[in-house]
A and B are shown apart, each in its own frame.
Chain A
Amino acid sequence: MLTIPRALYDKIVAHARADHPDEACGVIAGPAGRDRPERFIAMTNAERSPTFYRFDSAEQFRVWREMDDNDEEPVVIYHSHTATEAYPSRTDVSYASEPQAHYVLVSTRDEDTAEFRSYRIVDGVVTEEPVSVVE
């Protein structure tokens, strides 16, 4: 299960809405091994595309080094789908390489209601998990 504070949930949705119709992406870092998302980091989608995203490699290097220095890890890795459901695509699965991370997908295809779902992706196997939003 992903347990996420309301404020961080809202930041993910706001980022996805702001970048629509392009896909938005980012990370929530947290203390290593604690499974607690704490620090929101919006990332640049280097592809600026409605159907693909890739973290800018230089930005990723800085962010990952910062997490390393702080004894943090990527607890949540999120991105948006802007015209399809919030379910990992084959491309998403092939790139997924953080087995401890919650892969969050937000769909902005509906103007009023954002679809927010979370998955574990380990060795190519996708498992959806419940999301608990805490105040």
Chain B
Amino acid sequence: MAIEVRIPTILRTYTDGAKQVEGTGSTLGELFTDLDQRHGGLRERLVDNGGLRRFVNVYLNDEDVRFLAGLDTPVKDGDTVTVLPAVAGGATVS
């Protein structure tokens, strides 16, 4: 058993094109560190200064982890983590 992680197109360069990879850990932060062992560089695209990058949305099953505990969100075998690029922008710099 492991945690399934769904990777968006833009980050599949880090997973040899795979849409889905697996990892382990007891929190989301640990899971990302584990993934980075096999998919070097992936973690840096997700995490910045100890928090989630604002350019990505990360979901545990179907919940946005920003509304859970961010990188400290507990994860367990059988969970699915989905990464999506945040879609945002606008006329001026926020």
Could you list which residues of chain A lie within 8 angstroms of chain B, going by C-beta atoms? 23, 25, 43, 47, 49-55, 57-58, 60-61, 64-65, 77, 79, 81-84, 88-100
Contacts and interface: CB of A to CB of B under 8 A. Distances in A.
B1 interface: no
Given A60-B57, A97-B55, A98-B10, A55 B87 contact: yes
A79 B89 contact: yes
Nearest to A49: B90
Interface string B53-83: 0010101001010100000000000000010
Interface string B11-31: 000000000000000000000
B64 A53 contact: no
Contact of A52 (B8, B9, B59, B92): B92
Nearest to A46: B88
A98 B12 CA distance: 12
Main SS class of interface, A: mixed
Contacts of B91: 23, 50-52, 81-84, 89
A91 B90 contact: yes
B49 interface: no
B94 A51 contact: yes
Contact of A77 (B9, B55, B82, B87): B87
Contacts of B62: 58, 61
A127 B27 CA distance: 40
Contact of A53 (B59, B88, B93): B88
Given A54-B87, A57-B86, 19 more contacts: A49-B90, A52-B88, A52-B91, A53-B88, A53-B89, A57-B66, A58-B62, A60-B84, A82-B91, A84-B91, A92-B89, A94-B55, A95-B55, A97-B8, A97-B85, A98-B10, A99-B9, A99-B10, A100-B9
B11 to A, nearest CB: 9
B48 to A, nearest CB: 13
Contacts of B85: 95, 97-98
By Cβ-Cβ distance, the 6 closest A-B pairs, closest first, are: A97-B85, A92-B89, A52-B90, A54-B88, A55-B87, A51-B92
